[in-house]
Structure 1
Amino acid sequence: MKKTLYIFNNGILKRKDNSLYFETEEKRKYIPVEDTSDIYIFGEVDVSKKFLEFVSQKEICLHYFNHYGYYVGAFYPREHLNSGHVIVKQAEHYIDGEKRMALAKLIVSGSVGQMMQVLKYYRNRSENKEEIYKIMNDISNIAAELQKVDFHQIDELMAREGHAREKYYEAFDYIINDPYFIFEKRTRRPPLNAINALISFGNSICYTTVLSEIYKTYLDPRIGFLHTSNFRRFSLNLDVAEIFKPIMVDRLIFTLINRKMLTKKHFVKEMNGILLNEDGRKLFITELDKRLKSTVNHRHLGKSVSYRRLIRLELYKLQKHILGEKQYEPYQSLW
């Protein structure tokens, strides 16, 4: 499988003949083009038109983050996998209210199912079993109400999913065993504490990871089903990320904190809030990349696949659904 390159230093990305390299004031490092799927840029990095032409030709996505770790945008090469039939069917499932709601409900049920699985895992290992059990019961009640939402009430569906996620976040303080990492409530731009900083940063990486995987399919990232398509952003990656954030991002956060790998020294006060510093971002990215490469047994395929591959398989299932080949069933972690 191709690899992801993360660049934190300042420098220049250049093309030389049929190869790429990253050059800083101290050294030059060549990039294995054929083995690179996407590049995440966190430093101040200059690129040229010749470089962009070459990465487009090699089907490499670039994802840009600013000084504070916020996602800025992507260089998304011209799609190399094109199918007018798939795009028409995808648009049809967005325009048709009943078809869109059917998919949106499946995505939300998948998301809620993953949250419940995370809570179940940590409930069995926590001293706060009763508190976590009560939260799980509240989420189950909200999930039961989701199916009653009418097909033209996408906003209502998202609101109820939001309520389930708020309940889910209440369990964080029962799972995390560190007084510095108190959740309190969800805050964004800027995050007001370390836990929110981790969630925001981790989610942004998850969104871009899914976006890169969409590029390798016939699906159009601009047409989602749960999140409304508009003129400003991709939306399908936001949909699919809902299913993977709990197991990719949240479980990693719990692991890094409870194992004392992330501490107060990895955060800094910036922009009237709390953000990960560069060392914190590097550590989080390193561990998340390991998780994406790690494998789990896929019960339907009968073999082990990486978490990154699971995302691609989820997209293939969506594609089969909109083509009428097979009903979509969201991925459900077993542990």
Structure 2
Amino acid sequence: MGTFYLTEPYCFVRKESERLKVYKGKNCLKEIRVKDYARFFINEDSTLSTGALSLLAEKGIDVVYFSGSEVVGRFIGKENKNVRLRIAQVEVHLDEEKSLAIARNFVLAKIKNTRTIVQRFARRKKLDLSKTDLALKQLMKKCIQVKDIDSLRGMEGRAARVYFETFPQFIESSGFVFTGRSRRPAKDEVNALLNYGYALLRAELTGALSAAGLDPYIGFLHRERYGRESLSLDLMEEFRCVLVDNLITRIVNKKIIKPSDFIRDQGGFRLKDHARKRFLLEFDQRRIDKVKHEFLGRQMSYREILHKQAILLAKYIKGEMEDYYPFLIK
């Protein structure tokens, strides 16, 4: 099942039988079969009727409200009621050795996947990225040796800096400038795309973790902070460059998104509404692309892989697997 995106502002969604209808004024823009979707991403300026929310809750479908590239609210459908799994998750979170083991796998997977992406670009664009590749390789070795979470987070941060120092070489389209990673506000167009892509990925993983019975707010690499989905951020690490960064370099280099598709607002850049719709279409297409899951040994969509990784993590926490096996690309 997919994700429904309502990016059109000032819409009203109401229930009619087992379907939802999207209205703008008196005009019906779309009729939706609820059973086709696992979650709804909706512009904060749009409204759902009580009947629509009740139907979504009954079907176990989450509603995520976005303001620009930021998640501003979430309506959760039927939650997984696996209390024993939640207790086990807290116990692992409080166990420094077990937390470190899981967090190490997240970081190693992130760096391994980043190295693979760098190597691909080096071959495809005939770039000499050997220094970047070597630096990432050395950081992987150091990650294996660290004895605490803080040191591991330091290695992850260094790997991200090494990678993003190389990232401008992946951008071919004229008019786009990337001078380093910035979050809020996004200081350039590329960062605006990264921020939006990561927000979408985070929301997807929050839904996947909740469906697997895990608490998205109790992490291992990212420790607890009020209102932050720490476990979603943990699981994001192995997917950032694979799903989001790769997508952004493609749509920028193919001029699917152009510098004119952005506006500067409150000191930062953000996508115009029409360009956001285009980005969502590309993101959704990327999620249904299929790739081989090496551990599970079969082809599946990235959307399915996100859910499988949440399930694998839950199985490890319950003691049903000897280790957590992250998603790795080849």
Instruction: Give TM class, smaller chain.
Output: over 0.9
Offset at 1:82? Answer: 1.9
1:62 match: 63
Picking from 291, 298, 317, the partner of 1:296 is: 291
In the superposition, the TM-score normalised over structure 2's length comes to: 0.94
1:204 match: 199
Distance, in Å, in 2 between the alignment partners of 1:230 and 1:191 is 22
Structure 1 gaps of 5+ residues are none
1:106 match: 105
2:137 match: 140
Residues 301 and 109 from structure 1, CA distance in 2 versus in 1: closer, same or farther, beyond 3 angstroms? closer
Distance, in Å, in 2 between the alignment partners of 1:231 and 1:270 is 27
Offset at 1:59? Answer: 0.8
Distance, in Å, in 2 between the alignment partners of 1:56 and 1:43 is 19
- Letter matched to residue 42 of structure 2: I
* 1:219 aligned counterpart, secondary structure: coil
Distance, in Å, in 2 between the alignment partners of 1:294 and 1:24 is 32
Give the % identical residues. Answer: 28
Offset at 1:26? Answer: 4.8
Distance, in Å, in 1 between the alignment partners of 2:294 and 2:229 is 31
Matched, 1:97 2:96: yes
- Letter matched to residue 144 of structure 2: Q
Distance, in Å, in 1 between the alignment partners of 2:160 and 2:144 is 16
Q: Is the 8 A contact 1:126 1:174 kept in 2?
A: no
Can you list the C-alpha shifts for 1:16-50, whole angstroms capped at 9, x where unaligned? 34332211125223210111111111251112333
* 1:237 aligned counterpart, secondary structure: helix
Can you list the C-alpha shifts for 1:295-314, whole angstroms capped at 9, x where unaligned? 11234444321001111111
Distance, in Å, in 2 between the alignment partners of 1:234 and 1:165 is 20
Offset at 1:94? Answer: 0.1
Residues 46 and 322 from structure 1, CA distance in 2 versus in 1: closer, same or farther, beyond 3 angstroms? same
1:279 match: 274
Q: Which stretch shifts more, 196-205 or 312-321?
A: 312-321
Distance, in Å, in 1 between the alignment partners of 2:77 and 2:70 is 21
Can you list the C-alpha shifts for 1:96-132, whole angstroms capped at 9, x where unaligned? 11111111111111111111111111110124x22x2
Q: Is the 8 A contact 1:7 1:43 kept in 2?
A: no
Offset at 1:320? Answer: 1.7
Offset at 1:283? Answer: 1.3
* 1:30 aligned counterpart, secondary structure: strand
1:263 match: 258
1:247 match: 242
* 1:169 aligned counterpart, secondary structure: helix
- Letter matched to residue 101 of structure 1: L
Distance, in Å, in 2 between the alignment partners of 1:261 and 1:48 is 35
RMSD (CA atoms)? 1.6
Q: Which stretch shifts more, 112-121 or 15-24?
A: 15-24
Offset at 1:136? Answer: 1.5
* 1:124 aligned counterpart, secondary structure: helix
2:81 match: 82
Offset at 1:275? Answer: 1.3
- Letter matched to residue 108 of structure 2: S
Offset at 1:270? Answer: 1.1
Distance, in Å, in 2 between the alignment partners of 1:283 and 1:17 is 31
Distance, in Å, in 2 between the alignment partners of 1:76 and 1:117 is 36
- Letter matched to residue 63 of structure 2: L
Can you list the C-alpha shifts for 1:280-300, whole angstroms capped at 9, x where unaligned? 211111011001011112344
Distance, in Å, in 2 between the alignment partners of 1:262 and 1:212 is 28
1:50 match: 51
* 2:237 aligned counterpart, secondary structure: helix
Distance, in Å, in 1 between the alignment partners of 2:157 and 2:122 is 22
Distance, in Å, in 1 between the alignment partners of 2:26 and 2:153 is 49
Distance, in Å, in 1 between the alignment partners of 2:158 and 2:295 is 32
Distance, in Å, in 1 between the alignment partners of 2:3 and 2:86 is 27
Distance, in Å, in 2 between the alignment partners of 1:113 and 1:126 is 20
Matched, 1:330 2:329: no
Q: Is the 8 A contact 1:7 1:42 kept in 2?
A: yes
Offset at 1:159? Answer: 2.4
Structure 2 gaps of 5+ residues are none
In the superposition, the TM-score normalised over structure 1's length comes to: 0.93
